[in-house]
Amino acid sequence: MPGFELFSDLERNEVNDVLDNGVLMRYGFDGMRKGHWKAKELEAELAKTFKSDHVQLVSSGTAAVSVALASAGVGAGDEVIMPTFTFVASFEAIMMLGAIPVLVDIDDTLTLDPKAVEAAITPKTKAVMVVQMCGSMGDMDALQDVCTKHNLLFVEDACQAIGGSYNGKPLGSIADLGCFSFDFVKTITCGEGGAVVTNNADYYRNADHFSDHGHDHVGSDRGAETHPFLGYNFRISELHAAVGLAQVRRLPEFIAIQKKHYTIIREALSQIPQVTFRTVPKGGVESYAFLNFFLPDAESSKNVAEAFKANGVDVCWNYFHNNWHYLKKWDHLKDLKSLYPISSEVKQGLEYLKTKTFDQSDHYISRNISCLIKLSWTEEEVKARAEKMVNAIKDVLLSLKTSVV
């Protein structure tokens, strides 16, 4: 991760194919495009990859979440349960529909704690959205049980976890709806792009129409299409789809490289007794896009992250101090800093953020370090990196122990 590290002639050929026929839009212009439909081809490839009936490409992972929720009828005043650890797009996509993001604690999987989810359910709850952060997953069976028990929509944001699986099913294909991102730093990239995945024909049809101004896509004359309901413009372009088409065919190659690099580093860190790793639920297989581990306390984690940076170990983060991925720094959400007036329902629905604490989430995120696994590293570079990481962790733990004494 990310796929842009290994661009090749495969991507160039697909892009040049689009430029040669001149049709950059995914819909219409049938006569000009000479039978070339990159978005349709990519949707078919993704359906095979995700072992799912339907895939609808959209313009981003953020758009995928909004489209997925809208396709199932989530909207004004509905509550959507989501984790405290995610990207800011999660609550943005919910609020765009006039719905209310209800943040709940994570557990040692670094995703939703099923017990926290159940405790947060109210009569307004419409959906539960698990975010498969950093290449792994939550306890999907337990979360599904909660949703089934309370008749809730189950949504899976697998934007960071393409290539992972749970009980033999690809991540993103397990819930009622799955969402993916193919932005520039994902394991497979379109530059910008996303997808909604589902086995529900009604949700798929709604996503197909909603993402293109409500067009019904019936027939071969775009100008004659009707609009069964309101929609927005969340279309992907043929150029973006062309890059993704080449990349998705390389996904097994990318996952194999990630697994190799991940394994080298994990085995090295495993020699340090104070290092523990995130919990991967039974039956789960990570995508190996990130290596996540815990240190004994917040201080040691913060110091190790700083030591990594000082020793040239890049792309490793302590998310407790990160502006984008953890609620601690989401002041613009807590203070409702918006360019446009926010509805009274959403304002009232977010009042809880002014006083609610998330001690369990703090406990895990403050001790966590997350390391991106690059595709472009050589094996020698990975081994040298692992050695630097081990030495930095040992030095920090020794210095903290000495200072206590």
pTM of the predicted structure, to 2 decimals:
0.97
Answer whether residue 405 shows pLDDT above 80.
no
Q: Are 319 and 205 members of one domain?
A: no
Catalytic residue list contains 186: yes
Q: Domain boundary at 251, 269, 286, which?
A: 251
Q: Are 200 and 154 members of one domain?
A: yes
The enclosing domain of 174 has a CATH number of: 3.40.640.10
Give the pLDDT confidence score for residue 403 in this predicted structure. 78
Q: Are 241 and 343 members of one domain?
A: no
Answer whether residue 399 shows pLDDT above 60.
yes
Give the pLDDT confidence score for residue 48 in this predicted structure. 98
Q: Are 266 and 342 members of one domain?
A: yes
Q: What is the DSSP letter of 36?
A: -
Mean pLDDT of the chain: 97
Give the pLDDT confidence score for residue 404 in this predicted structure. 64
Q: Are 105 and 247 members of one domain?
A: yes
Q: Are 178 and 227 members of one domain?
A: yes
Q: Give the residue-averaged pLDDT of 1-28.
A: 96
Kindly name the residue from 40, 48, 149, 186 that is annotated as catalytic: 186
- Say which residues have a Cβ less than 8 Å from residue 134's Cβ, sequence separation at least 6: 110, 160, 161, 278, 289, 290, 292, 370
Q: Domain boundary at 251, 269, 296, which?
A: 251
Q: Are 231 and 315 members of one domain?
A: no
- Say which residues have a Cβ less than 8 Å from residue 80's Cβ, sequence separation at least 6: 69, 74, 94, 99, 100, 101, 102, 125, 126, 127, 128, 129, 155
- Print the domain residue range for 315: 252-404
Nearest to 11 by CA among 251, 192, 241, 246: 246
Q: Per the structure, how many domains does the chain have?
A: 2
What are the tens digits of pLDDT across the range 35-84? 999 999 999 999 999 999 999 999 999 999 999 999 999 999 999 999 99
Q: Are 113 and 206 members of one domain?
A: yes
Q: Are 191 and 276 members of one domain?
A: no
Q: Are 271 and 224 members of one domain?
A: no
Q: Domain boundary at 251, 269, 289, which?
A: 251
Residue type, 312: G
The enclosing domain of 307 has a CATH number of: 3.90.1150.10
CA distance linking residue 180 with residue 285, whole number of Å: 17
Q: Are 138 and 160 members of one domain?
A: yes
